[in-house]
Structure formats: C-alpha cells, structure tokens
Amino acid sequence: MEEHRKTIEENIIESYRQDEDMMILVFAQWCVNEGLDPEELYQQAYPQQQSNERLQRVLELTVPKEEAGPIPDDTVLGVLSLFGNEDLAFVVSEAISNRAPKK
C-alpha cells in the first residue's frame, strides 16, 4: 500500500513538472514571437537567480516566430499567474505596455 501511494505521489509530481515545463515553453515562445529575450525577462523578474536550467532546456524547443502560432498576451499572463509566477507576469505586462502598438 505504501509503495502504491509513493508511486501516485511521484506521478503527481511528474505531471506538475510537465505542466510547469509547458508554462515555461508558452512564456519562451511568446518572447520569441515578440522579439524579446526570455532569459533577460526572467532575469528582470528574478534577479537573485543566476540562471534557470529548465528555461535553458525549454528554449531548445522554441521555434522561429514564422513557424509558431500566435500566443495572445492574455494567454501567457494567465499561464504565468496559474503557476504563481507573479513577478514574471509583472515583467511581461511591462513588456506588453512598452512595445509599439500593433498595426
């Protein structure tokens, strides 16, 4: 019984990690689409962290803007908030407000 519970806990943790990686990918691809550096924005949000290994890994999965589908601003902000990345959502909000209006 104990081993079964441990397996369930491990599956839940792994599922959360995968969801978190998807959130990182949405953020990173949104940055690429907007011509922004994901690492730079992350560093602005979390200056106390040297680098984020998961962000580095996920960056390899991004595609050029021309190959990516659009990611609405509300989507990236919602996903960041869902995972409690309020500091990063704030930096993204600033980037959104600072960009030139789309025509």
Question: What are the sequence ranges of the domains in the chain?
Answer: 2-98
What distance in Å separates the CA atoms of residue 103 and residue 63, rounded to the nearest whole number? 24
What is the H or E stretch that residue 72 is in? none
pLDDT of residue 96: 95
**Contacting residues for 1 by C-beta, under 8 A, at least 6 apart:** none
Reported as a single tens digit per residue, the pLDDT across 70-84 is 999 999 999 999 999
> In tens digits, what is the pLDDT along the chain, a chain of 103 residues?
788 888 999 989 888 888 899 999 999 999 999 999 999 999 999 999 888 888 999 999 999 999 999 999 999 999 999 999 999 999 999 999 998 675 5
pLDDT of residue 52: 86
Nearest to 77 by CA among 37, 39, 31, 46: 31
